[in-house]
Amino acid sequence: MECTALVDTGAAMTVIDREAADSIGVTYTGRRRSLVSATGHKLEGEVVIIKELNIEGEVLDYEKALAVEFDDEVRKVLRSLGVDESIIVGFATVGLAGIIPDTATGRLKRVEAFLF
Q: Which domain holds residue 29?
A: 6-110
How many angstroms separate the CA atoms of 26 and 49, rounded? 6
- For 42-68, how does the pLDDT look when each residue is reduced to its tens digit (9 = 90+)? 889 999 999 999 988 888 899 999 999
Residue 18: predicted pLDDT: 95
How many angstroms separate the CA atoms of 19 and 61, rounded? 21
Beta carbons within 10 angstroms of residue 7's beta carbon: 20
Residue 115: predicted pLDDT: 56
Q: Is 95 exposed, middle or buried (0-12, 13-18, 19+ CB in 10 A)?
A: middle
Specify the pTM: 0.84
Which helix (H) or strand (E) covers residue 20, if one does? helix 18-24
Q: Is residue 1 part of a domain?
A: no
Tally of domains within the chain: 1
Q: Is residue 22 part of a domain?
A: yes
